[in-house]
Amino acid sequence: MAIGGIRVAAPASRPSLRAKVGELLDREQWLGSIFVSPALVLLLLLVAYPFCMALYFSVSNAFIGRPSHFIGVRNFINLWESDAFRQTFQNAFVFCGAAVGAKLVLGVSLALLLNQQLWFKRLIRGAVLLPWVIPTALSTLGWTWMFNSLYSVVNWTGLALGIMDPPGPNWLGQKYYAMAAVIIVNIWRGLPFFAITILAGLVAIPKELYEAAEADGAGPFSRFWYVTLPLLKGVLAIVVLFSTIFTFSEFNIVFVLTHGGPINSTHLFATLARQVGLETGRIGEGAAISLYLFPVLMLVVWAQLRFVRKQAY
């Protein structure tokens, strides 16, 4: 700009707000923090805060309608005086062991089947996911009808095939049959998670290894035992880890099917914690029940992640 024949430099324009924001987003350390912050806020509000409150309640005598006081680990010790808790403790390990073991065996078998050349393979793989996709409460209501003592489809099929004596078992009204029913439904719902995850591991195995093993005279079982299984160890460990955590914390299936009955024979930690903490108002005891296996699960997570790390290296 010229003033009186003399050129004068124009004042530098101040950067706009948009330019400042763009410059800020160009910095990787700021951009990463901005993208992570929504997930971090959700974790703090929906996971960390409720977990800390549960820890506080578990070491207090919290009861609905009265002030709470710190009592240490007395809730955890006093739980063993309850017959219902001792039964629940046994139920949890029976339920988790049977369900996870069955899902592991059936999941590997189903994954091997889906890895073969099949007609309508994509359609079948999509159909396998249906038990996992359908809302748990809705699908469990269907199983409630199938296990009904008066018009059970399961009993009708068993009687028609001659493998049951009339009138058939009362699935949800007898102790051992009720536990078998909730295990069956849990297996049915969790099997797709095993099958699809293991199938992803199978697809990643190079076919040259199978061709080399077959050229050396290895049969189908030998190829599975010496090629497939060793290369799936890491995947299997992760799948079993997640399934163990999900199965121990199962709530919907048991609550909809049996409400923990008959006579506490199907109660798990989550359902008993709800009954004690919400229905009877003993929030401290309910929180202690829900957190009782937390140290054990942390140990399991540490051991399995260490195993996976060793397999990776």
Question: Stretch 19-23: mean pLDDT, rounded?
Answer: 65
**pLDDT in the model for residue 223:** 86
Q: How confident is the model at residue 189 (pLDDT cuts 50, 70, 90)?
A: very high
Task: Give the pLDDT of residue 183.
Answer: 95
* pLDDT, mean of residues 104-123: 85
Return the pLDDT at 296: 80
Q: Calculate mean pLDDT across residues 153-165.
A: 85
- For residue 74, what are the contacts with CB-CB under 8 A and spacing of at least 6? none
Closest C-alpha among 102, 107, 148 to residue 258: 148
Residue 89 vs residue 308, higher pLDDT? 89
Dist. CA 95–CA 267, nearest whole Å: 10
pLDDT tier for residue 19 given thresholds of 50, 70 and 90: low
Tell me the C-alpha to C-alpha distance, in Å, between residue 203 and each of 13, 126, 171, 238: 59, 16, 39, 17
Q: How confident is the model at residue 85 (pLDDT cuts 50, 70, 90)?
A: very high
Q: Give the single-character DSSP code of 63.
A: B
Mean pLDDT computed over every residue of the chain: 84
pLDDT-derived band at 218 (thresholds 50, 70, 90) equals confident
The region of weakest confidence among 33-42, 98-107, 259-268 is 33-42
CA atoms within 13 A on the CB side of 306: 6
d(CA 282, CA 289): 11
Of the chain, the percentage scoring pLDDT greater than 90 comes to 25
List the domain boundaries for the chain: 82-312
CA distances from 3 to 6, 10, 14, 211, 288 (A): 5, 11, 23, 86, 82
Task: Quote the pTM value.
Answer: 0.83
* pLDDT of 89: 92
Average pLDDT over residues 95-118: 90
Q: How confident is the model at residue 7 (pLDDT cuts 50, 70, 90)?
A: low
Which percentage of the chain shows pLDDT scores above 70? 89
CATH number corresponding to 82-312: 1.10.3720.10
Q: Given pLDDT bands bounded at 50, 70 and 90, which one contains residue 271? A: very high
pLDDT score of 1 more than 70: no
pLDDT for residue 27: 67
pLDDT, residue 180, reads 93
Residue burial 151-182, b: 16+ Cβ < 10 Å; e: rest: ebebbeebeeeeeeeeebbbbbeeeebbbbbb
**Cα-based distances in Å from 36 to 27, 31, 41, 43, 72:** 14, 9, 9, 11, 36
Inform me whether the pLDDT recorded for 24 exceeds 70: no
Side chain identity at 293, as an amino acid letter?
L
Peptide bond into 67 cis (omega under 30): no
Q: What is the model's pLDDT at position 11?
A: 52
Instruction: Tell me the mean pLDDT in the region 287-313.
Output: 80
What's residue 6's pLDDT? 55
What pLDDT was estimated at residue 266?
93
How far is it, in rounded angstroms, from Cα 223 to Cα 169?
Answer: 42
